[in-house]
Amino acid sequence: MKIKKILNNNAAIVVEDNQEKIVIGSGIAFNKGKNDLINRNKIDKLFVMKNDNHAEQLLPQISVEHMALTQEIIQHAEDSLQVKLNPHIFIALADHLSFAIERYENGIFIKNKLLSEIRILYKKEFDIGIWAINYIEDKIGIRMPIDEAAFIALHLHTASVPSGNLQVSLRQTSIINEIIHIIQDYFSIHLEEGGLSYERLITHLRYTLYRTDETMERTMDEEMLIMVRKKFPASYNCAETIAEHLFQQHGLLLSTEEIGYITIHIERLRSRKG
């Protein structure tokens, strides 16, 4: 494993078996030069580069301290979730945390508009995000708001699923946020986030969007669908409004069965007020 390029004292691009890889570890490239061998015992993180200069550009800008924080958070996440995260999360999360810490040091705070949805959709990852902001405060004395836990949760979720894509996760969560606002505006109500019915609606919408993206269909007995439409006309009309919004704004087509299921969730939410 020979060094091709040193990124900083703790990171380098190496070549092994005709593949370019990035290795990360404390002092792994200190006093090293091109074509020098890497001590494998010092490697904390290794991943294969996929013809992407992104990591090569970002790593030199991230401090050793922030890399160490990232590594600990990832390790805690893998232990908690009992899953091996996509190694590319290291660069993405380290870059995110480094920039976030810099913002907070300068008194710049960013609200996460998808906080409520993320807290429900990715509960385990969100709990790890809470652990992470507490860990960061303990290590460097910077207290991040709960919004940051939600940002971290999204990164963790994306890295924990096959073919995870952060933009897809963000898109689905954002669409769910739009749907919640449609329901609130339609009935002029405020939905309580902590209620069981609210959580069930959010979870159902998540799988609805997944089925739509994967062109999967869910069936509902025709007689049941007619009964739902007649018994809950206001909620059904709201569900149709949601379906129209999804088609017009996102090109997503909901089946009448999905509209029926959403109707039931909306009605339960209205009747139990979350």
Residues 76-116: tens digit of each pLDDT:
999 999 998 887 788 889 889 999 998 888 888 888 988 99
Amino acid (1-letter code) at residue 222: E
Per-residue pLDDT at 156: 94
CATH number at residue 75: 1.10.1790.10
Question: Is residue 175 assigned to a domain?
Answer: yes
CATH number at residue 37: 2.30.24.10
For the stretch 179-228, pLDDT in tens is 999 999 999 998 887 777 888 889 889 888 877 765 555 567 788 889 99
Question: Is residue 258 assigned to a domain?
Answer: yes
Question: Is residue 59 assigned to a domain?
Answer: no
Question: How confident is the prediction for the chain on average, in pLDDT?
Answer: 86
pLDDT over 70 percentage in the chain: 92
pTM: 0.71
Q: Assess whether 181 and 258 both reside in one domain.
A: yes
Amino acid (1-letter code) at residue 66: H
Contacts of 130 (CB under 8 A, 6+ apart): 146, 149
Beta partners for residue 24, in sequence order = 11, 45
Sign, CA dihedral 40-44-47-49, equals: negative
- Residue 82 sits at the vertex; the CA angle it makes with 122 and 65, to the nearest 5 degrees, is 80
For the chain, the domain total comes to 3
Q: Assess whether 143 and 192 both reside in one domain.
A: no
Beta partners for residue 5, in sequence order = 13
Interatomic CA distance for residues 205 and 175, integer angstroms: 9
Q: Assess whether 266 and 184 both reside in one domain.
A: yes
Domain that holds residue 6: 2-53
Question: Is residue 239 assigned to a domain?
Answer: yes
Interatomic CA distance for residues 274 and 266, integer angstroms: 10
Question: Is residue 117 assigned to a domain?
Answer: yes
Q: What is the mean pLDDT of residues 153-175?
A: 84
Q: Assess whether 175 and 266 both reside in one domain.
A: yes
Residue that terminates a domain, selected from 134, 160, 186 = 160
Q: Are 179 and 205 in contact (CB under 8 A)?
A: yes
Question: Is residue 113 assigned to a domain?
Answer: yes
Q: Assess whether 173 and 142 both reside in one domain.
A: no
Amino acid (1-letter code) at residue 60: P
